[in-house]
Structure 1
Amino acid sequence: MKATVTVMLKDGVLDPQGEAVRSALGTLGFAGVEGVRQGKVIELDLAATDRAAAEAEVRRMCEELLANTVIESYRVELS
């Protein structure tokens, strides 16, 4: 089973990397971009076969290591 975790800064948290990308896009002539939020995607190959158990385990991974839940939110997708 594969898990995809998407981690993003929470709304209201300053995103300097996103702002740098927005500025660079403007410099390249992409004037219509009003905001950019940058995050990360983590793909995990899991040995688990039980979907509910796998999701619970990945959420625990996020809470303990993969995301800083004070300033980041995360989304888990299983396939």
Structure 2
Amino acid sequence: MLLMFLGKPVGLILAYGVLGALFMPFLAITLLFILNSDRVPAEWRNKPGTNVMLGLCAVIFSYLALTELVKQVGKVLGGS
């Protein structure tokens, strides 16, 4: 909100994009851990196909988050 009041909503939009890109791998990895734990009943645990898909999501979105973060930090530090 501070960026909005300072008249720089572009920074707010960039921060929203970067944080959104970082959320998806966090969600996929968290679901992998939680839904494979002993606290979840056996019939509700992830099956192998679900584990593979969540693993792929974690890898793909981690790559996308990293490239987005590097791109945005490069814009801030490099100016272009």
TM-score exceeds 0.5: no
The structure in which a higher percent of residues are helix is: 2
Larger gyration radius, structure 1 or structure 2? 2
Structure with the greater relative contact order (CA < 8 A, sep ≥ 6): 1 or 2? 1
